[in-house]
Amino acid sequence: MKCESRSFAFRYRSPEHFVEVFRTYYGPTLKAFAALDEANQQGLRKDLLALIGRMNRAEDGTMVVPSEYLEVVITKR
């Protein structure tokens, strides 16, 4: 078994584009929005955009948010 820390940059046209893509296509985010009434959906959207605003490295209106994940490779012998 081999474990290695990896990095990935989420890149989208804008923070709003990211939220819309994840709200529409990414299961956990889609379900979170679906479980909320309209007012709370707007609150979640606002919170996500605020988080992206703190993490975004782009300065041109686009979105570049770095992330880290653990890659685990198991080789069966």
Q: List, for residues 25-52, the tens digit of each pLDDT value.
A: 999 999 999 999 999 999 999 999 999 9
Band of pLDDT at residue 62, cut at 50, 70 and 90: very high
What's the CA gap between 54 and 60, in Å, rounded?
15
The mean of the pLDDT values for the chain is: 97
Question: Which residues are paired to 72 by β-bridges?
Answer: 3
Band of pLDDT at residue 64, cut at 50, 70 and 90: very high
* Residues contacting 2, CB < 8 A, separation 6+: 72, 73, 74, 75
